[in-house]
Amino acid sequence: MNYQTITRASAAGVGIILAAVLFAFVTIGVKLLAPAPAIDADRAAERAKALAEIRATEEISLNHSVVIDAKRGIIRLPIETAMALAAQKWANPSAARADLNSRAEKATAPVKTESFE
């Protein structure tokens, strides 16, 4: 091996190393100077808004009375009220069971509509 071959090989190796270092500096510089926006930034805001709406709806559903079907007498009660009524009614299990069966039949019965014939 002669001196000229060693010099060319060394120069090529040094050139590759310098190119890699230069590439690393350019990559780091671009990364620091031009930050990319988050891909899902808008979607995260939409999801947070939707979650807030869902929680507000849940709060209203769980803590306020609402008439669901006036013809059948179906009413949604707040949790505390429903639990108190259930505890009061189930003090006598046989009467509570009979009441529950009658209310289930009433709730699932077809709605009678007036016909105009």
Q: 20 by DSSP, 3-state: which?
A: helix
* DSSP one-letter code for 72: T
Q: Is the pLDDT of residue 105 over 60?
A: yes
Is the residue at 115 inside a domain? no
* Rounded-to-integer distance, Cα 97 and Cα 76, Å: 20
Domain count, the chain: 2
* Rounded-to-integer distance, Cα 32 and Cα 96, Å: 70
104 shares a domain with 47: yes
Is the residue at 1 inside a domain? yes
Is the residue at 104 inside a domain? yes
φ, ψ for residue 76 (rounded to 5)? Answer: -95, 125
Structure tokens at 117: 């014939």
- pLDDT tens figures, 4-36: 666 777 888 888 999 999 999 999 998 888 877
Residue 87's pLDDT is 92
End-to-end CA distance of the chain: 113
54 shares a domain with 18: no
> How long, in residues, is the chain?
117
